[in-house]
Amino acid sequence: MKSTVSKVVRYELDIENPPPLTNEQRAELKALSECPDSDIDYSDIPPLTDDFFKNAVRGRFYKPVKQQATVRIDADVLDWLKASGRGYQTRLNAILRKEMLADLKRR
């Protein structure tokens, strides 16, 4: 029986220090920036209808970056959050987000 070995190669892109553009890439970017919008071929993209926008949801795939924090919460508030079972931190975050969005709307 023959044994096969496979190697997994992973590359990480350094976003802070991307590799320099080649002359060919610079020329392509220059040509694209000078191209008028009327020359863009949209034939492979389906048109967006009113039905699409009726069902559209803003931020559907938005996932905010989580940051660990230490906060002091009144014991009864924490007990109330934990009384609903697992996920009290998620509930706390949802409550704070709701208040944050309400506050932003009032401004």
**Distance from the first to the final alpha carbon of the chain:** 71
How far apart, in whole angstroms, are the C-alpha atoms of residue 58 and residue 93? 19
How far apart, in whole angstroms, are the C-alpha atoms of residue 32 and residue 53? 29
How far apart, in whole angstroms, are the C-alpha atoms of residue 32 and residue 30? 5
pLDDT tens digit sequence for 26-80:
999 999 999 999 998 989 998 889 988 888 888 888 888 899 999 999 999 999 9
Q: pTM of whole model > 0.85? A: no
At a CB cut-off of 8 Å and minimum separation 6, what does 91 contact? Answer: 81, 84
pLDDT at 2: 63
User: How many alpha carbons fall within 13 Å on the CB side of residue 103?
Assistant: 6
